[in-house]
Amino acid sequence: MASTAVLLLQLLLVSLASASHLLGTSATYTYRGQNPDGTYKVDLHSRSIFKTCDYLSWSCSGSNCLNVVKSPSGVIDKNTNTPVTTCETETVFTTNVSSDKPFQMRASGCCWRSTANNVGSWYLLTEVDLGKRSDTGKPNRSPDIGLLPFLRVPQNCPRTYKLTSFDPDGDKVQCRYGKVSGTECDKCNLPPGFLLDQGSCTLHYNYTQANSNAFGLELMVEDFPQGHINLQYADGSRSYRVPMTARTPPPTTAPLSKLPMQFSFLVDPPAPSCQEGDFLPKLLPPTPANGAHFLAEVNKELEIRVKAQAKHATINNIIVSGPANISKHQTTPGEFVLRWTPLPDDHGQHFVICFAVEAVKPPAVYQSEMRCVLVEARSEKVKSHVICNESSMTVSVEKASFPRLHEDHMQLNDPSNTACSLQRHSNSTHIIAIIPLNACGTQIEEDEENLIFKNEITTVDNPGDLITRKHQMEVQFYCQYPKQGNVSLSFVAHRKNITVWEKGFGTFTYQFEFYPNNQFQTMIDPAAYPLEYDIGNRIYMKIKATSSVNNTQLFLESCRAAPYDNPNYRPTYSIFENGCQMDPTLQIHSPAAQKEFKFSMEAFKFIGLHNQHLMRVDIPKDNPNMTCQAVPLRSQSMVSNQQDHDPPSRPEHHASPQE
């Protein structure tokens, strides 16, 4: 008996420990309308940042609460620059309530990651009132919270953060410190060194002791109408709301909703300089301004570009908070792209995306100012479609989707070449453009994994005009191709070309062939396979990428031989590893910076290493199967920076194919 009890206790401790290490959390809600059974549906969007991709649980509190269904919606951001690694996730708690009367959503638990101000447990409160507003005729909409859940600043650098600014109903949004211990907050006191301007939701950091633990800040966001309104309920009753009077909100003024906003604020040791651009990254154009407004279309990707500079530190990361599944990519040092695609369900809603760039000068990490932009998700207006193949992008735009759309008044980035004319392929219902990857003003960009070719169709009054006064339309499109591919070739059997990517954007094909000699002129006819070589004879091989883009080149990252045709077979014999030659007989027959890679090596056979003791594995001695893994196609600028054994460095600027 006693031992069972001990065991249970241990399990309990384990489960508590796994839920700890909270660094910040916030919530907003969306009214989803009435269910067929007459009940009301509300989605609570809860974002939380933990050491691991964890989430916290909310429950409904109120006499009208029925049931809550939890559905994780995805990861927002992961980071490793923090003193601990962090992961921010979003989880939606769909709540079913029996009436449109106010209710609360609550969450509590243990523990925060150790905080400098002893915030231990989390207490979170969201208040929702579904009464119909007399000014909008609809239930109140939740303010949007704009915040990075992990902020950091050097001790000696005062800084100001604008926390949130947007309310879809145009209400006045206030941010106050949590007051009610055990419901809204744990410690409920703004730490010394910080100032909170409630009316403008602005947090000022002035000065406090640096601490390796972050401060836990526990704020509440509330919205108040701009004029006198009432909320009308289905049972005929009403409640009244008045505007918040300047400076001194009377305690009787009830907000329309209450939302939690809790986050970590790390005060780092002093920086040698607080000047932006020295150690603290300075945000540069085209980074959008704080508060910028973007329109996004459902099912179309939105792209936000962020650029930063720091003279004495290395920019290495962007931290992001926004809707689930937003993705971040580094294009060149100091340049990032954020991408997000609204889903049909997001239609009509607003989303705040906040970001800051981080630079390192070990052991110090420097974070830029935080900026937040507002994205409104609209329905799809312009119906367009892109098909990518190895040599071109084919775009079609439905004319019916945009008034008075005519190919005569539309052009590509660079229309000077007649091959780039939109008249050529368009028909009565669609504007159709077939754009070579290397012409018509197509721009090439790259990030960690992909080469991206971009162009756009824009309106012009008369071809050649520089200005327009007519309807403006822009269809931006791109084709994305992975840089990495795998090709395999066996000594005995010929393989088909391997197409390396099939996610729907585009692919390049890599060919892998045998040649009789170092002239590499006529490949050995696959009909002659299987080829047989005497040990020590030279085998000539060529890998070629079928890309029509000039300034790309093939870089062979690794190449291994295995006795069986199974890429997972171990051990393998390394011929190339990370671009380095491993086999002493290897010779390279093509100059660097080419689209093909020619090489040769002496034929070899595998020695039966494992056939001595327990197992007798029959390893064929004569026919090794060779797999060359990861053959990235890189743009030239990337490779020109490359040192012999270093991992590939990033280009300083984009190469564009027209150069």
Positions touching ligand NAG (CB under 6 A) are 35, 37, 39, 66-67, 73-74, 96, 206-207, 324-325, 343, 389-392, 394, 396, 427-430, 432, 434, 438, 484-486, 490, 492-493, 496-497, 500, 509, 511, 546, 550, 564-565, 567, 620, 623, 625, 629-630, 657
User: Which is it for strands 257-268 and 150-154: parallel, antiparallel or unpaired?
Assistant: parallel
Q: How far is the CB of 511 from ligand NAG (least distance, A)?
A: 5
Query: Residue 478 is which amino acid?
Result: Y
Report the distance separating Cα 26 and Cα 59, nearest Å: 15
Cβ-contact 310, 279 below 8 angstroms:
yes
Name the nearest CA neighbour of 147 among 54, 221, 86, 53: 221
CB nearer to ligand NAG: give 392 or 635.
Answer: 392
CB of 259 to ligand NAG, least distance (A): 19
CB of 513 to ligand NAG, least distance (A): 8
Contact predicate 61/103, CB 8 Å: yes
Contact 196, 220 (CB under 8 A): no
Q: Which is nearer to ligand NAG, 71 or 252 (CB)?
A: 71
How many contiguous H segments (helices) and E segments (strands) does the chain have?
2, 45
CB of 118 vs ligand NAG, minimal distance in Å: 21
Judged by beta carbon, residue 133 or residue 544, the one nearer ligand NAG is: 544
- The first and second tokens of residue 636, run together, are 């030239």
Is residue 293 helix, strand or coil?
Answer: strand
**CB closer to ligand NAG out of 136 and 394:** 394
Closer CB to ligand NAG, 170 or 530, in the complex: 530
Tokens 């590893």 sit at which residue? 577
Angle, CA 173 vertex, CA 169 and CA 174 arms, to 5°: 165
- Nearest to ligand NAG of 130, 315 (CB atom): 130
Q: Is the dihedral of CA 643, 647, 651, 652 positive or negative?
A: negative
Q: How far is the CB of 6 from ligand NAG (least distance, A)?
A: 38
As a dihedral over the C-alpha atoms of residue 411, residue 413, residue 414, residue 417, rounded to 10 degrees, the angle is -50
Least distance (Å) between residue 234 CB and ligand NAG? 16
Q: Which is nearer to ligand NAG, 202 or 389 (CB)?
A: 389
CB 8 to ligand NAG: min, Å = 31
CB of 598 to ligand NAG, least distance (A): 16
- Residue closer to ligand NAG by CB (options 52, 181) is 52
What's the number of CA atoms in the CB half-sphere (13 Å) around residue 626? 24
* Comparison of 429 and 594: residue with beta carbon closer to ligand NAG: 429
Measured from the CB of residue 498, what is the shortest distance to ligand NAG in angstroms?
A: 9
Please report where in the chains the tokens 């045709």 appear, as a residue.
565
Strand order of the sheet with strand 202-205? 159-162, 202-205, 194-197
Contact 265, 345 (CB under 8 A): no
**Gap between the Cα atoms of 29 and 32, Å rounded:** 9
